[in-house]
Chains A and B, each alone.
Chain A
Amino acid sequence: MTQPVEKKGDRFIIPIGPQHPALKEPGHFEFTVDGEMVTDATVRLGYVHRGIEKGVESRNYVQNLYMLERICGICSHTHAMVYAMGVEKLAGVEAPPRAQAIRLIVAELERIHSHMLWLGVAAHEAGFDTLFMYSWRDRETVMDLLEALSGNRVNYSANLLGGVKFDITPDQVKDILEGMAFLEERNRHYLEVVMNDMLLLGRIRGVGTMSKADAERLGAIGPTGRASGVARDVRLDAPYGAYRTFKPVLMLAETGDLEGRFNVRLREIMDSIRLIREAVTALPEGELTTRMPRRIKEGETVSRVEAPRGEAFYFIRSNGSEMPDRIKVRTPTIFNMATVLTLARGHQLADMPMILVGIDPCFSCNDRMVSLKRQGEEAAGGDAVAGPVMTWNEFRKAVMR
């Protein structure tokens, strides 16, 4: 919904959003333009502000795990993991090694899914819909693996306080390795496409360039910062969980433009594939969970995790009861958003969607059962419905016909 252009003095302000074709999430931007050139940009967030930070104060630690997981549907595992790790630290409990390795595997699968999703969306913004379709088709491989492990494509619910909910069986290891082989081949191809396709390079090379000094000053983090040469990755800087054993490789680019961001993210997918391979073949034996007290003793802790978009930072304060006193959630996008507003200056208005997508913005950051009656009968959802239930394949056939 692009509203009429508003004139203030000799400047034009073009409001864009919150509902706009470029992004699937609502954010309101105002670009001040001089002709086609953007001279200033501001953002108004809050369309998806729900009040989670207040809500956690009236829910207990276990309930919060499920709500915090739903801060963001793309990095759901990250939020649950960073919270679970923080609460474990407060309680003085450590998750068993096998649980930590499973957390790592799910986290890296999630990183692949998130980066491939981004690749598709960014290609779409660049007008390269073929790449969008291909990358999303291949992304289904990761979604299938995650679904086979957890039963859900998006909110995996892998974490429990003190461990993980599901194990990885030898059969699943085989599936994961097959999936990784396929994805590795596909991503090698995408890397080649992105680095050699002149049409795409025309839209990304030298666009939205951010120098290392700017990136550091503005606090760019995650792949956005690494594309400008900022060597920050929590997995390496402050290794947590199984990352102490399985070390990722820092992916950097020096160019700082959109090409660099494509490059960094695609190489990170390759590294995640390597990490997953190492972790599934050397999965430590042992328990999945450990005992966790219901009340968490008084204290404050900081928990940091490298989300697909950069560092996720949680500050958790406990007052000794069943409910936390305060949880501060700092997601990576808030930092990178500041870089967009600065980068926008001096660029053409037409480049704005690409620059915005370049940081991989994420504005947001129970029931999973659908029982279906057979065809011809009335279909209904929710678990209260009785009657003949379709098998998974029947359901798919019915829907996909």
Chain B
Amino acid sequence: MATSLLDSITAGLKTWARVNSPWAIHFNSGSCNGCDIEILATLTPRYDLERFGIKLQGSPRHADVLICTGPVTRQAHDRLLRIYEQMPEPKFVVAVGSCALSGGVFEGLYNVIGGIDQVLPVDAYVPGCPPRPEAIIDGVAKLLASLSNPGPKLSTPASGAPAESAPAAEVAEEVV
């Protein structure tokens, strides 16, 4: 009884900490830069992502959230996986932009594998070409809101396409 109480308290604490200061890493796996500069713009004074406690981080070892932009190219595929594997559990993936969702205009080109969800399990989708900084913040905020409210994952690489047709910020906690 005592251990389970302790467990639930620490679980609650962990979720609280996770929701209040997630560190994010950004990787461009073949994007045109459009989404990348909008992600960078979220850091700047008008949008100021850091007031949510979100920090953009350089090292995958420090990161909780992987923000991916662009379709996955053949050359970036292994790097993307390697970065994902280096992140500590639990980890979350946000796909930003039309290309990250489905390949976008680059669907079908010889060096493009497809959207991020062909390779990694994605927790939140932010559509747009590119999405506005507000939309990216909204996506990340929705991800955070859902951390305390677990549900099934939107997609797994095996199943390919997202579970629902609406590619929006519906999120779920990773099963650890």
Contact = CB atoms under 8 A, between A and B. Distances in A.
B28 A24 contact: yes
A26 B168 contact: no
A73 B34 contact: yes
B75 A49 contact: yes
Interface stretch (B5-13, B14-22, B115-123, B124-132): B124-132
Interface in A379-401: 379-382, 384-385, 395-396, 398-400
Interface residues of B, number: 62
A36 B143 CA distance: 43
Given A25-B28, A26-B28, A137-B45, A395 B134 contact: yes
B30 A1 contact: no
Provide the main secondary structure of the chain A interface.
Answer: loop
Interface stretch (A13-21, A191-199, A247-255, A275-283): A13-21
B105 A24 contact: no
B147 interface: no
Contacts of A381: 125-128, 135, 166-169
Interface in B62-114: 70-71, 73, 75-76, 79, 82-83, 86, 98, 104-106, 108-112
Contacts of B26: 24
Contacts of A46: 73, 75
Interface stretch (A167-175, A290-298, A361-369): A361-369
Q: How large is the interface on A (under 10, 10 to 19, 20 to 34, 35 or more residues)?
A: 35 or more
Given A1-B60, A155-B34, A50 B112 contact: yes
A54 B33 CA distance: 20
B170 A378 contact: yes
B168 A154 contact: no
Interface of A: 1, 18-21, 24-26, 46-52, 54-55, 66-67, 70-74, 76, 117, 120, 132-134, 136-137, 140, 143, 152-155, 362-368, 370, 378-382, 384-385, 395-396, 398-400
Across the A-B interface, the 3 shortest Cβ-Cβ residue pairs? A73-B34, A21-B58, A73-B33
